[in-house]
Amino acid sequence: MAHKAPKDPNASKVCKASNAPKAPRLHVIPPDPYVPAPPPTRPGQIYFEFRGWFNSKGYWKGNQDLKKLIATFLIPTQRDKLHNGTFRYIMAMENFKCSMKLVHCLCLSRIFTNDRDSISFKIFGYDVSFTLEDFHIMCGLRITSYNVEKPINRERNILKRYFGKSKGVTLKDIRDFMTHNEIPKNDVNHIHVCESDRDAVKLMKILVVESILFGKKTESFMMEEYASIVEDDKVCAEYPWGNVAYDKLIYSLKHALDKQNKFHATEYKLGGFPYPLCAWFYERFPDIREKYIREDEYLDTPQEYFDEKFE
């Protein structure tokens, strides 16, 4: 006769526990949606909490490699015309790179003022403003104290001549055209794709305006009214490019952090031409350049320096 297995003394407890009423499930309360802080209303108030945004990254929409394209598409006589023309001070710059870490810190340091024609920052305890005059001094673009009128809609023959249309031309179309028609190395008898030196220089000026001064991304459509200004040498030389470029930079600085990348919440892109802003900063605070900046670093300031300053 088989022996019965001894009873488990804890079996009754397990049974009672399994038959015990279950604790009610707690209702999960979803987190409240993010509500941005109300914008400042008094002069001197800041827009952003510096430490809460410091790790975000900004990127410039413009074309940092335009110098290379100039070297491969324009022949020497055409480059001379470009370098001695309306944008000669822009062309004199070694490159168009600037410190986006610095620009980001300036965006976070922006303070509210009643002046709509400038942008102000709280830097090392000082309230400083970056004005149209500052922008002009740093990049040499023509400015005016009068209201800039909307460009007149002129004929845009150069676009029709090389792209078969005047509307719907993108910056990528122009770049691809130049890339596919690069000047072969050591080819002294090369026949340029453009009908004249003037056409080649005007196409490059359009890229300078759209990619550098306006800081637009490659996929953007070209603004026809500005292409028509570039096509007229006299009008282009007298046009207040500084006013237009400054306005676009200031607008982008004021709204860049409102338009973060929806797929990467810590990233955003900046338009306009921020190089003069960085140059102005180092002129106002020369000790930073002397102590922390080397000429070959493209105005790039170590992040650790700002960590120390803003503690």
The Cα–Cα gap between 286 and 292 comes to 10
CA 190, 193, 197, 203 dihedral sign is: negative
CB-based contact 247:135 (threshold 8 Å): no
The Cα–Cα gap between 244 and 229 comes to 13
- In percent, the amount of the chain with pLDDT more than 70 equals 70
DSSP 28: P
- pLDDT of 6 reads 56
CA 21 to each of CA 25, 94, 126, 264, 292: distance values in angstroms, whole numbers, following the listed order: 12, 77, 66, 46, 68
Least confident range of 241-245, 284-288, 304-308 = 304-308
Q: Which residue's entry shows tokens 């200031």?
A: 250
Q: How many residues does the chain have?
A: 311
**What pTM, to 2 d.p., does this model score?**
0.76
Task: Dump the DSSP string for 181-210.
Answer: TPPPTT-TTPPPSSSSHHHHHHHHHHHIII
pLDDT in tens, 155-211: 668 888 999 988 889 999 999 999 999 988 777 677 888 999 999 999 999 999 999
Q: Give the residue from 223, 221, 239, 227 showing the smallest Cα distance to 156.
A: 227
- In percent, the amount of the chain with pLDDT more than 90 equals 39
- pLDDT of 52 reads 56
What per-residue string of b and e applies to 242-261 under the rule 16 or more CB within 10 Å gives b? bbbbbebbbebbeebbeebe
